[in-house]
Structures are given as structure tokens and as C-alpha cells.
């Protein structure tokens, strides 16, 4: 109990959060009515009951269906503001937020509509309560690399407000190598790079993310532990892993929270962090994720402190900004 309260009170950064995955059933229902979008659910309870997944694809099908209610700039603003307020309650001082432009442009909502609403909320949170945030746009890996290039083009006028690019959606069958050229183009524009790897995909995909995409940070990375040489390399290179415990449980990446590799990662000197991924779908925000691992794993007070410290070290804040937080 003590350790859970300690984790809640510590200043933290969140580094793995899909803004579309913070769409709570209540807001989904409200936006469906506001925008007159048909949804196959009659109540908030029915929506919540549909959130049972046996793998990543199960979840993605519902996740893409859910974001269909996001239509206007105001919708993206409301969504982002709700997340920032909720994260603030968990003492999240800085957030690096993913969004999926292709999840919107492919249904006729423009890149500009989505990003305008998001960045307005980010500015307001900074002004109102001093919370800082950076934006990372993800490419959907189940789509062709050519579509990712089009998305990078749409981002051209927004590059001063985009920190980096990421890679998400269906992992197996869509290795990082498929996106080597567009990641190179992103780096040439001064963008940071991250990628989901080793969530369901094999350790080889983690190697590819490092060697072919030159990622600055690794999202999930769980399956790296199957490869000892890779694990040693990640420790040596101080590569940050954005681990998402409740997500891993809900998507059956782990069989039980007691089997979660987070404690092992810390003992292996990996720079692991705790994040919520898609909090509305997976059952909780950052503090809920800390609570879940503290209850299931033999984490010490020192471990919890390290996890919070790692979240700032692994962030894209400047060295000076990091020092101010640590």
C-alpha cells in the first residue's frame, strides 16, 4: 500500500500513450451522439463489455472502430484534454503522446483536423498547469510504406510541433525493415524515431528496429529477453523500453501479471519504464499500471524510484529539462 502511494506521488513522465486509446466509453458514446455516428453499442456498459481481447489484432479491430467517432478538431481537443487532466492526477509531469494520422485520414478526417485539436490541448495544458508534452506520429505498419511517405508529406507544415515518428498496429508480418526508407526520410527531417517491437514479434524485429530504423527508444520490447546478446546490447546502449504492464496482460503478451518480465528487466539493467499504452481499453492509467506491477512483482522502493527516474531519462526532454525533473 505504502509503495503504491509512493509510486502515485512520484513525478513521472509517460512515454507510451496512444491518444486514440485514451477514448473512454463515456466520451465515445457522447461523440457518437454529437456527430451522429452509428455505433454497434446501446450503452456505455455495452462498450465496456466488448473490451475483452485474446491478442493484439482483437484489440486493434475495436480500437480502429472506436476512433471512428472522432470527426472534428473539437473532438481531438476534448480527447487530448481529458487524457492530460487524467495523467496530471497521477503526477505525470510530461507526456510523449502517439497519434495515428492514418487511422483518421483513411476515413476522410484530415491530418490537419486531427493534429490541430491535439496541439491546442497540449498548449493549454502547458499554460494552465505546467504539464509539458511532445507529439509522436505513428505509421500504421499493416499499410504499405508508400502510405507512410504520404503521411510524412502531410506532416510537412507541422514538423515544428512533431517530435518524432513511431511504428504501430499489427506487428507480426510487418517487420521494421518494411519502413526503413521512410524512417530515414524522417530522420533527415530532424525527427526522432521510435518503434513498437517485440510485443508479439520476435527478437529479430527488435534487431531490425535498432539497426535499420536507428530507433531512439523501443516500445514494449518484451520479447528481447528471449535473446541474451540482444538483452546485453540494450543494457549497454542504455536503450529505453516503454513497457506497458496492463496492456501486456489484456493482450495476452503475459499469462498473468505475476509472470510479467518488468522486475527481470530492471535486474538485467535495462532502462525500463511503466506506461499505459491505451488506458481506456486496458483498464488503467499510469498509476494503475504501477499498482498492478507492485501488487504482482517483488519490486522494491528503489525499483519504483528507478522506473520513475527512467521515464525522464528516456524522454526527449533536453538535458537541462531532465535535470530540473530529477
SS3 220: strand
Task: Pick from 73, 96, 163, 278 the residue near ligand HPA by CB under 6 A.
Answer: 278
Stretch that binds Zn ion, among 103-111, 227-235, 275-283, 284-292 (CB under 5 A): 275-283
Cβ-based nearer residue to Zn ion, 28 or 136: 136
**Burial (0-12, 13-18, 19+ Cβ within 10 Å), 255:** exposed
Phi (first) and psi of residue 214, to 5 degrees: 50, 50
Query: C-beta of 196: minimal distance to Zn ion in Å?
Result: 6
Q: Which does 133 bind (CB under 5 to 8 A by kind): ligand HPA, Zn ion, none?
A: none
Residue 171 touching Zn ion (CB under 5 A) = no
* DSSP labels, 261-326: THHHHHHTT-EEEE--BSHHHHT--HHHHHHHHHHHS---HHHHHHHHHHHHHTSSS-HHHHHHH-
Residue 196 touching ligand HPA (CB under 6 A) = yes
Residue 277 touching Zn ion (CB under 5 A) = yes
Spatial separation of the C-alpha atoms in residues 310 and 117, rounded to whole Å: 30
Cβ-based nearer residue to ligand HPA, 63 or 77: 63
Among 14, 20, 199, 208, the active-site one is 199
Residue 56 touching ligand HPA (CB under 6 A) = yes
Rounded to the nearest 10 degrees, the angle between the axes of helix 301-313 and helix 286-296 is 140
Q: Looking up cell 531512439, which residue turns up?
A: 216
Establish whether 277 is an annotated binding residue: yes
Q: Which does 104 bind (CB under 5 to 8 A by kind): ligand HPA, Zn ion, none?
A: none
Establish whether 16 is an annotated binding residue: yes
Beta bridge partners of 138: 166
Spatial separation of the C-alpha atoms in residues 144 and 36, rounded to whole Å: 31
Query: C-beta of 188: minimal distance to ligand HPA in Å?
Result: 25
Which 296-325 residues touch ligand HPA, going by CB under 6 A?
none
Query: C-beta of 50: minimal distance to ligand HPA in Å?
Result: 16
Distance between start and end Cα atoms, the chain: 24
Query: C-beta of 224: minimal distance to Zn ion in Å?
Result: 16
Query: Binding string to ligand HPA for residues 162 to 191, with x set by CB under 6 A, is what?
Result: ------xx----------------------
Strand (E) positions, the chain? 12-18, 92-99, 132-140, 164-168, 192-197, 217-220, 240-243, 271-274
Cβ-based nearer residue to Zn ion, 24 or 277: 277
Q: Which does 21 bind (CB under 5 to 8 A by kind): ligand HPA, Zn ion, none?
A: ligand HPA
Residue 247 touching ligand HPA (CB under 6 A) = yes
Q: Looking up cell 535535470, which residue turns up?
A: 323
Query: C-beta of 142: minimal distance to Zn ion in Å?
Result: 14
Decide if 156 is catalytic: no
Torsion angle of the four alpha carbons 100, 106, 111, 115, in this order, in degrees rounded to the nearest 10: -40
Cβ-based nearer residue to ligand HPA, 20 or 303: 20
Cell of 167: 511504428
Residue 200 touching Zn ion (CB under 5 A) = no
Binding residues with ligand HPA: total (CB under 6 A): 11
Could you count the other beta carbons within 10 Å of the beta carbon of residue 79?
Answer: 27
DSSP state of 144: -
Binding residues for Zn(2+): 16, 18, 196, 277
- Name the residues annotated as catalytic: 199
Binding residues: 16, 18, 196, 277-278
Binding region for ligand HPA (CB under 6 A): 18, 21, 56, 63, 168-169, 196, 199, 247, 277-278
Binding region for Zn ion (CB under 5 A): 277
Amino acid at each position: 500500500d505504502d509503495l503504491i502511494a509512493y509510486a502515485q506521488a512520484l513525478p513521472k513522465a509517460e512515454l507510451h500513450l496512444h491518444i486514440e486509446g485514451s477514448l473512454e466509453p463515456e466520451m465515445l458514446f457522447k461523440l457518437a451522439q454529437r456527430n451522429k455516428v452509428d455505433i454497434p453499442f446501446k450503452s456505455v456498459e455495452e462498450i465496456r463489455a466488448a473490451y475483452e481481447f485474446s491478442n493484439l489484432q482483437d484489440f486493434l479491430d475495436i480500437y480502429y472502430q472506436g476512433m471512428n467517432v472522432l470527426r472534428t478538431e473539437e473532438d481531438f481537443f476534448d480527447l487530448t484534454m481529458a487524457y492530460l487532466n487524467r495523467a496530471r492526477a497521477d503526477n505525470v509531469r510530461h507526456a510523449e503522446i502517439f497519434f495515428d494520422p492514418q487511422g483518421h485520414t483513411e476515413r476522410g478526417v484530415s491530418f490537419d483536423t486531427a493534429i490541430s485539436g491535439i496541439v491546442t490541448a497540449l498548449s493549454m495544458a502547458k499554460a494552465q498547469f505546467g504539464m509539458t508534452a511532445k507529439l509522436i506520429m505513428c505509421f500504421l505498419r499493416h499499410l504499405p510504406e508508400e502510405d507512410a511517405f504520404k503521411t510524412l508529406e502531410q506532416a510537412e507544415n507541422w514538423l515544428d510541433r512533431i517530435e518524432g515518428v513511431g511504428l504501430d498496429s499489427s506487428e507480426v508480418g510487418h517487420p521494421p525493415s518494411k519502413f526503413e526508407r521512410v524512417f530515414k526520410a524522417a530522420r533527415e527531417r530532424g525527427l526522432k524515431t521510435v518503434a513498437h517491437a517485440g510485443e508479439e514479434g520476435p527478437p529479430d524485429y527488435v534487431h531490425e528496429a535498432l539497426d535499420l530504423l536507428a530507433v531512439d527508444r523501443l516500445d514494449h520490447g518484451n520479447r528481447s529477453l528471449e535473446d541474451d546478446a540482444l538483452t546485453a546490447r540494450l543494457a549497454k546502449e542504455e536503450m529505453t523500453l516503454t513497457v506497458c504492464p496492463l496492456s501486456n496482460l489484456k493482450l495476452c503478451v503475459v499469462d498473468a501479471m505475476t509472470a510479467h518480465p518488468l522486475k527481470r528487466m530492471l535486474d538485467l539493467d535495462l532502462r525500463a519504464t511503466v506506461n499505459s499504452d491505451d488506458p481506456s481499453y486496458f483498464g488503467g492509467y499510469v498509476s494503475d499500471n504501477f499498482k498492478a506491477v507492485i501488487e504482482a512483482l517483488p519490486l522494491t522502493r528503489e525499483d519504483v524510484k528507478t522506473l520513475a527516474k527512467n521515464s525522464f531519462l528516456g524522454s526527449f526532454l533536453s538535458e537541462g529539462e531532465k535535470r530540473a525533473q530529477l
